[in-house]
Amino acid sequence: MAIEDPVSPPSPSPGKRPDSENRQFATALELPIVLVAAIVVGGVFGYLLDRWLHTKPILMLVLGGVGFYTGVRDVLRRVARDQ
C-alpha cells in the first residue's frame, strides 16, 4: 500500500491534460477567428451607427480600424501568454 504525501497535491492524470501539440493546434485555429471577429464586430457596429447618424462610411472605417487594432492586440496577448 502506498502512502500519499498530504502536502503535495495529487498529479493530474495524463488523459486530462492536453499535450502541447493539441494546444498549439487549438491556438492556431482560434487566432484567425479572434482577429476576424473583432474587425467584423467593429465594422458592423460602425455601419449601424453610420446608418443611424447618416455619416456613410466614416464610422464604419474608424470602428473597423479600432476592431483591427483590438484584434491584433488580443492575438499578440494570447500568443505571448501561450509561450
**Domain extents in the chain:** 24-82
pLDDT band at 83 (very low <50, low <70, confident <90, very high): confident
Segment 16-45 shows an average pLDDT of 90
What span, in angstroms and rounded, lies between the C-alpha atoms of 17 and 74?
Answer: 24
Q: Where does the pLDDT of residue 61 fall: very low under 50, low under 70, confident under 90, or very high at 90 and above?
A: very high
Query: Which pLDDT band, with edges at 50, 70 and 90, does 8 fall under?
Result: low
Residue 10 pLDDT grade (very low, low, confident, very high; cuts 50, 70, 90): low
Which residues does 56 contact at the CB level (< 8 Å), separation at least 6?
A: 50
